Amino acid sequence: MGNIMAIFGKEMRSYFGSPIAYVMAGVFLLFSGFVFRNQLLEFHDMAVYLKLSEREEKILLNVNTEVVTPFFEFQTFIWMIVIPMLTMRLYAEEKRGGTYELLMTSPITSAQILIGKFLACYVLYLLIEVMAFGYIGVLSMYAQLDWGPIFSGALAVVLIGATFISVGILASSLTENQIIAAVLSFFFLILLWIIDWAARFASDIFFVILKFLSLIEHTRDMIHGVVDTHDVVFFISAAAFFLFLTHTVLESRRWRA
Amino acid sequence: MIEVDRLTKRYGAFTAVDDISFQVGKGEIVGFLGPNGAGKTTTMRVLTCFLPATEGTARIAGYDIFDNPLEVKKRIGYLPELPPLYRDMRVRTYLEFIAKIKGVVPKESRRRIDEVVVQCGLVDRTEQLIGHLSKGYRQRVGLAQAILHDPEVIIMDEPTSGLDPNQIIEVRQLIRELAQERTVILSTHILPEVEMTCNRVVIIHEGRIVAVDTTENLTANMRDTTRFFVRISGDLDVAAKAIATIEGVSDVTRTNNGLHVHWSSEADLSAAVSARVVELGMGLVEMKREAMSLEEIFQALTMREERM
């Protein structure tokens, strides 16, 4: 535990001691704020239009589905770009700078290093997310919100972050070049995101598999307010799987040829 | 303290370290000597559990490097050729981090850091960013890192490479101080460095041990073949022939301005050589003993081994 905290502390210091954390938080909050604002203005326009048209039949206009849901959906999309930039340095930088040798020759296991690094990136992710939730907090002062879908959306954000970060860490452990690490994880995340597109043209068993692998499939319900244990288990096991792969990659260097 | 037992490391078809065995006793300073690419770094990386051995094994303080890497890692301090530093950390923060991952008891860590900082001459640099330090100071931080947890064994890969002459002297001094109660292995490709710091030398060439000996014996062996450079005013070819006939001279080679004269006997033939030059009526402009370069020592040692 002490060892994990030592690595965690070091990574946190590195994130906040350099511009990385601030730039990434700034970029994320700016983009998600941009989307949030525009969705809100759209919603406002629609509401005004409906009121003016004075139609007989009632159309339900819901701030949750019109503003909060698209906000969550767009967030996960920005994270696909931002997370590779947060994770790319985790191992690649150590390898390039020679400090990987220091870690591997210290009395600390590669699992402890991995968990420490994962937690640091995850906590940074959650901190940025907490700030983004401020937008919803502001909205709640002026609108009647349905908190159920917001909590389930928050759960989706918490779960999908762990999966994204574990994919990014795997990419970083494969190379000593940060750019390659970022590009690898970026493309892999995009692939996982849109893989269900291929499912449309696949048959039988492949349809089921491709559909199952798609990240978008597993977030859709949760963002709309339906929490299915099957989705929760999917994200947790996906994160665990990629962390396990990373650990195997790191340990394989110690295998006898 | 360190027992290396038939260690072999292959990278694919390339054999970096080929079946080497040696022992290092407690309190010894052993130098790994060899040209670049001889397998020094690979051997050290295997000993520090960074790389696995393909065959064979080693024990450090009684623990096998393959079966008990954590116990081994607790007992070694390692300074790689490129000091493993985080450039964006301050020296003290860096050492605090090292103390944590090397398992220094938290209560002790402040005291240990203060001690090491004094030992490595970093007292007025503790608040500086490592990235802003000069190369010599970075090397000191690297050393501080290696000794912080008070390891029984210190392994250093070319600890003086890239330093200026004054810094080299300081680092050697520091190594000798450190070695008083510890076992040290260091690698180098500079012969005088071994003579100055080590009790014993392991010479590695192309992944194999060519010689293991005490520093005194090794340099004495080297004196078996003596080489003089002789500069003469006169016909060099005539002089070369005449000198080659002196009993005991093993080889005479011509350069564009003088002769290299080798002899392998114990006797000092310098008088005979100069007498011969004077007999020929030529002027003896210069005569000096030449130190054998490392390359030549390797040639001599590898050839000697082949002859056996």
Q: What DSSP letter does each residue of B99-167 carry, written as one string?
A: HHHTT--HHHHHHHHHHHHHHTT-GGGTTSBGGGS-HHHHHHHHHHHHHTT--SEEEEESTTTT--HHH
Q: Name the residue among B84, B93, B102 with its Cβ closest to that of A101.
A: B84
- CB spacing of B54 vs A106 below 8 angstroms: no
> Residue A64 has what pLDDT?
83
CB atoms within 10 A of CB A195: 18
Give ranges for CATH 3.40.50.300 in chain B. 2-216
Share of chain B above pLDDT 90, in %: 26
Instruction: Report the range of poorest mean pLDDT among A172-186, B193-207, B218-232, B277-291.
Output: B218-232
Q: How would residue A47 be classed by pLDDT, with cut points 50, 70 and 90?
A: confident
Mutate to test the interface with A, among B86, B93, B97, B104 (most CBs of A within 10 A): B86
Number of A/B CB contacts below 8 angstroms equals 78
CB atoms within 10 A of CB B277: 22
Residue B250 is encoded by which pair of tokens?
A: 């093993």
Q: Which single residue is written with the structure tokens 């492949």?
A: A206
> Residue B291 has what pLDDT?
65
Task: Give Cβ neighbours of residue A181 (< 8 Å, ≥ 6 apart).
Answer: A84, A87, A88, A89, A91, A92, A168, A171, A172, A174, A175
Burial (CB count <10 Å: 0-12, 13-18, 19+), residue B155: buried
Residues of B in Cβ contact (< 8 Å) with A99: 84-86
Q: State pLDDT tens for residues B40-50.
A: 899 999 999 99
> Residue A1 has what pLDDT?
78
Q: At residue B296, does pLDDT exceed 80?
A: no
Mean pLDDT of B59-71: 90
> Residue A201 has what pLDDT?
81
- CB spacing of A106 vs B73 below 8 angstroms: yes
Q: State pLDDT tens for residues A171-182.
A: 999 999 999 999
> Residue B195 has what pLDDT?
76
Give ranges for CATH 3.30.70.100 in chain B. 226-291
What kind and span of H or E run contains A41? Answer: helix A20-53
Residue A23 is encoded by which pair of tokens?
A: 């730039």
Mutate to test the interface with A, among B11, B50, B73, B92 (most CBs of A within 10 A): B50
Residue A114 is encoded by which pair of tokens?
A: 């991995």
Instruction: Find the largest Cα–Cα distance for chain B.
Output: 80
Q: How far is A191 from chain B (nearest CA, A)?
A: 34
Instruction: Report the range of poorest mean pLDDT among A169-183, A207-221, B2-16.
Output: A207-221
Tell me the Cα Rg of chain A. Answer: 21
- Count of residues in chain A: 257
Share of chain B above pLDDT 70, in %: 90
Tell me the CA distances in angstroms from B260 to A189, A224, B232, B238, one per residue in order: 69, 89, 11, 14
Using CA atoms, how far apart are residues B184 and B147, in angstroms rounded to an integer?
A: 11
CATH 1.20.1270.360 fits B226-291, yes or no: no
Q: How far is B89 from chain A (nearest CA, A)?
A: 8
Residue A244 is encoded by which pair of tokens?
A: 């396990």
Using CA atoms, how far apart are residues A183 and A187, in angstroms rounded to an integer?
A: 6
H-only helix segments in A55-199: 63, 69-87, 89-97, 99-104, 110-142, 147-173, 178-199
Using CA atoms, how far apart are residues A119 and A3, in angstroms rounded to an integer?
A: 13
Residues 68-127 of A with CB under 8 A from B: 97-109
Using CA atoms, how far apart are residues B204 and B189, in angstroms rounded to an integer?
A: 10
Q: How far is A94 from chain B (nearest CA, A)?
A: 9
Mean pLDDT of A138-150: 87
> Residue A178 has what pLDDT?
94
Tell me the Cα Rg of chain B. Answer: 24
> Residue B307 has what pLDDT?
47
CATH 3.40.50.300 fits B2-216, yes or no: yes
Higher pLDDT, A155 or B307: A155
Mutate to test the interface with B, among A106, A112, A250, A256 (most CBs of B within 10 A): A106
Q: At residue B6, does pLDDT exceed 80?
A: yes
> Residue B288 has what pLDDT?
82
Q: At residue B109, does pLDDT exceed 80?
A: yes
Instruction: Report the range of poorest mean pLDDT among A133-147, B95-109, B163-177.
Output: B163-177
> Residue B299 has what pLDDT?
66
Q: State pTM to two decimals.
A: 0.84
Mean pLDDT of A156-163: 93
Instruction: Report the range of poorest mean pLDDT among A100-109, B55-64, B283-292.
Output: B283-292
Q: At residue B308, does pLDDT exceed 50?
A: no
Nearest C-alpha neighbor of B274 from the set B226, B227, B301, B239? B239
Instruction: Report the range of poorest mean pLDDT among A143-147, B36-40, B266-270, B296-300.
Output: B296-300
Q: At residue B304, does pLDDT exceed 60?
A: no
Task: Give Cβ neighbours of residue A165 (< 8 Å, ≥ 6 apart).
Answer: A83, A86, A87, A118, A121, A122, A125, A239
